[in-house]
Structure 1
Amino acid sequence: MFKPERLEKWRRIRKLTQEELATKINMTKAAVSNYENGHSSPSGDTLAALADVLDIDTDYLLDRTDTPRHLNQLKYEGNSDETFFERKELIEMINKASSEDLADLKIIVKRFVKEK
């Protein structure tokens, strides 16, 4: 069964408004609001689009699992969902860096971690 509170939670974690999410899945803001309020449930295609945009799996949105797929794979124990996405964002930025920039970043991170 579709869990509307999970949709809202992950939309907020991803820092999306209802309107932004609606645009990404080619729906209206009202449709997203109805999903989040439990007034309606998304179709299979829409559910898949929501999961793709939020970077979670449909089983989580359907209450078949308590932990989203990506969190199972990447989350460090003791971190909140928000911390997970902050780390993921850093990893995405690092992946875009040049080889030279990576060497500099490594030095900076080592110094920063030592100071803590």
Structure 2
Amino acid sequence: MRLGELLKELRGDEGLRDAAKRMNITYSYLAMLERGKDCRTGNTIKPTPETLLQIANAYKYDYFKLIEVAGFSDDPFYNPALKEPFAHNPTLQQWYKSLPYCNEQDVEKLKIIWDVIHEGGDN
């Protein structure tokens, strides 16, 4: 499903102007989003993350599902989770985020292990 199709489906019978007003965007912009193209230029519309969030909030729809349908889920500009270290490995990410809470001796041990691994790669 394309973004425009989803937006039309989510809007249902609600008027374009009313829906746009709830999103704090113009009705002409919402119409372009639903069409998928700028009627003046013919170019594909690429809404900002803020606009997608406004739409998600207005329709009570999951933001991450919305950016996925829009084709932006692998774009860090749209998906803040990708800006995190190890975004595609939640286990490693959780471990990495826990490091600041480790005691100094454990961090020193990790450093020694890292040095051994790193030296092993040079041989």
TM-score normalised by the shorter chain: which range applies? 0.3 to 0.5
Q: Using structure 2 for the length normalisation, give the TM-score.
A: 0.45
Tell me which of the two structures has the higher relative contact order, counting C-alpha pairs closer than 8 angstroms and 6 or more residues apart.
1
Highest CA radius of gyration, 1 or 2?
2
Q: Using structure 1 for the length normalisation, give the TM-score.
A: 0.47
